[in-house]
């Protein structure tokens, strides 16, 4: 039984993060240059895909590989499942992680598909607590430039991005809310959620 609404939980998370805003920055195990290098490679591959002229199906496959290579998909999947993951079996968690990886790659691949004819450029890197915030700007034809930001850490043992902001929209919080809503509609049936994620997109 949930005693807090998802909105309440989100507010508490935001408040907790705000409480650390003025704390001294801890040392991180990797450098600013390594964080930028990771996103430079990532952005380079995204630019190559959106300029490739390949079919949408082929692009989605490319974006799925990019997400798998550069993102901390295990952390992202676990975060989006949230407290509901506590009741999941090990097999369900593995199956959910695999299904979610495909789902999120298709979803954000579709968003990057909108960038065709444009480009991304890395502009700034700054340390935020135990990770780096790497900012880039998307230049699209006929539109004003907007920011795309990657949060990069080495918590997985490798340097990977664990969150993404597009025009200020937080991927982690957005997907956690949407996955929670999908699971609620399925009355907490994780297996049903997994099967639907496989078909989504």
Is 64 in contact with 88 (CB distance < 8 Å)?
Answer: no
pLDDT at position 123: 94
The angle formed by the CA atoms of residues 151, 90 and 156, to the nearest 5 degrees, is 25
Domain boundaries, the chain: 27-199
Verdict on whether the full-model pTM lies above 0.75:
yes
pLDDT at position 124: 95
Q: What is the per-residue DSSP string for 169-198?
A: EEHHHHHHHHHHHHHHHTTT-HHHHHHHHH
Q: What is the pLDDT of residues 146-159, one digit of tens each?
A: 999 999 999 888 99
Distance CA 149, CA 122 (A): 9
Distance CA 122, CA 134 (A): 7
pLDDT at position 27: 55
CATH superfamily assigned to domain 27-199: Tgt2/MlaC (3.10.450.710)
Ranges under pLDDT 50 in the chain? 1-7, 9-25
Q: What is the pLDDT of residues 112-132, one digit of tens each?
A: 777 777 888 999 999 998 999
pLDDT at position 74: 85
């Amino acid at each position: 039984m949930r005693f807090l609404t998802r909105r309440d939980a989100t507010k508490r998370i935001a408040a907790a993060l705000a409480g650390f805003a003025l704390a001294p920055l801890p040392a991180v195990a990797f450098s600013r240059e390594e964080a930028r290098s990771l996103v430079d490679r990532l952005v380079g591959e995204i630019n190559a895909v959106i300029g490739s002229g390949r079919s949408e199906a082929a692009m989605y496959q490319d974006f799925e590989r990019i997400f798998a290579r550069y993102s901390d998909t295990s952390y992202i999947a676990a975060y989006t499942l949230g407290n509901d993951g506590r009741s999941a079996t090990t097999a369900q968690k593995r199956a959910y992680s695999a299904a979610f990886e495909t789902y999120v790659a298709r979803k954000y691949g579709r968003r990057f598909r909108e960038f065709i004819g444009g480009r991304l450029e890395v502009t700034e890197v700054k340390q935020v607590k135990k990770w780096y915030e790497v900012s880039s700007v998307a230049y699209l034809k006929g539109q004003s430039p907007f920011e795309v930001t990657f949060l990069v850490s080495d918590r997985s043992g490798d340097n990977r991005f664990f969150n993404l902001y597009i025009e200020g929209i937080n991927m982690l919080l957005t997907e956690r809310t949407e996955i929670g809503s999908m699971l609620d509609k399925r009355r907490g049936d994780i297996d049903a959620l997994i099967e639907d994620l496989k078909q989504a997109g």
